[in-house]
């Protein structure tokens, strides 16, 4: 009996698999690099974009990178431009009103204190407890992923999976949340809870230079170096941009679009937004009302972006040609290879 010869795989399947493995390896290197930089000096968006631009040059698609990633670059320029501008233009900083609302809504559940100050009291009462050191390090780790996580997910969509339609959907929703939040900071600059704890309800001085690190200084004490204090004192352009909390909004946007792309396999990623929301209160950076408003902003902006803006720009408008330039990820059936409209889920 003559055995059947093993069926050889078509060369295009082997090429697609090799390309996918190569892009996955590039993604792994990018993530490892960001982790190393984040531990050494914290990831700044401008640093991240320059690093990814170098990678794009090596991969031979730098021109496409500059075109597709320009919204992120514009957001960082606008964010950096806010350095001192928001408080100068708005004049009054809302210090008392957010605190009173937080107290009215949540103090009954925390022994008459707002949640932030309840946690501060617990930390002071248990300075050497093992659980405190664990939470200090865990929360500082979650909080440090603020800018890195959206950039990594965008890179996965853009390069690893070559799912340009999902990349544009993510960038559009992410940008809409961020721009509307920036506009809110101009209209309603508000003081975070760490400011109330340190300075009370007085208006900040025009040249206020508080560090803004909140209880992240506990992690600094643990590592023996003022890392977070230096970052927040010298790199944070606006210390009174508390409502809504972008630290709380970005993880939710990441989780929503990860679920849109990967389905139930992305559910373990829920640990990320949950961890950041807890950290925002534990580290005394945001009130619960800041976080809840961030949820409202994200859901509203995602609905507007998915149902109206993306179809108008990329399916029927001028972005259709840009979308048609993208290539579907290897082996993914049903992804648009030309101008075919992707299904919105």
pLDDT of residue 47: 53
Q: CA 182, 291, 262: angle at the middle one, nearest 5?
A: 90
Q: What is the mean pLDDT of residues 103-123?
A: 96
Q: What is the mean pLDDT of residues 97-126?
A: 96
Dihedral over alpha carbons 65, 44, 169, 245 (to 10 degrees): -170
Structure tokens, 311: 């179809």
CB-hemisphere CA count at 13 Å for 30? 27
Phi/psi region, residue 109 (left: phi>0; alpha: psi -120 to 50; beta: rest), is: alpha
Q: Where are the domains of the chain?
A: 11-324
pLDDT, tens only, 174-222:
999 999 998 998 889 999 999 999 899 998 876 664 444 444 444 445 4
pLDDT of residue 257: 97
| Residue 155 neighbours by CB under 8 Å, 6+ apart | 27, 30, 52
pLDDT, tens only, 51-99:
555 555 545 566 677 778 777 777 776 666 655 555 556 568 999 999 9
């Amino acid at each position: 009996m003559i055995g059947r010869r093993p069926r050889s795989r078509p060369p295009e399947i082997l090429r697609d698999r090799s390309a996918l493995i190569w892009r996955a390896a590039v993604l792994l290197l990018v993530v490892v690099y960001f982790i190393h930089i984040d531990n050494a000096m914290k990831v700044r968006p401008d640093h991240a974009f320059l690093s990814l631009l170098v990678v794009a040059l090596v991969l031979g698609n730098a021109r496409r990178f500059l075109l597709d990633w320009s919204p992120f670059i514009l957001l960082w320029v606008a964010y950096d431009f806010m350095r001192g501008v928001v408080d100068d233009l708005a004049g009054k900083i809302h210090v008392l009103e957010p605190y009173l609302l937080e107290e009215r809504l949540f103090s009954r559940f925390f022994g008459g204190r707002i949640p932030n100050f309840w946690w501060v009291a617990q930390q002071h009462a248990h300075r050497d407890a093992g659980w405190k050191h664990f939470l200090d390090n865990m929360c500082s780790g979650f909080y440090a992923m603020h800018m890195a996580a959206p950039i990594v997910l965008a890179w996965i969509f853009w390069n690893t999976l070559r799912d340009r339609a999902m990349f544009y959907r993510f960038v559009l929703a992410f940008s809409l949340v961020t721009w509307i939040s920036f506009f809110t900071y101009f209209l309603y600059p508000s003081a975070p809870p760490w400011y109330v704890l340190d300075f009370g309800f007085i208006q900040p001085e025009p040249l206020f230079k508080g560090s803004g690190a909140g209880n992240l200084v506990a992690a600094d004490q643990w590592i023996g170096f003022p890392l977070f204090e230096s970052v927040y004192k010298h790199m944070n352009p606006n210390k009174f941009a508390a409502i809504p909390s972008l630290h709380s909004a970005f993880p939710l946007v990441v989780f929503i679009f990860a679920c849109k792309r990967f389905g139930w396999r992305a559910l373990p990623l829920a640990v990320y937004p949950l961890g950041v929301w807890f950290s925002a209160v534990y580290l005394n950076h945001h009130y619960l009302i800041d976080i809840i408003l961030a949820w409202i902003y994200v859901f509203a902006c995602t609905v507007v972006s998915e149902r109206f803006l993306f179809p108008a720009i990329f399916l029927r408008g001028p972005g259709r040609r840009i979308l048609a330039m993208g290539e579907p990820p290897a082996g993914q059936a049903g992804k648009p290879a030309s101008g075919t409209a992707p299904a919105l889920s």
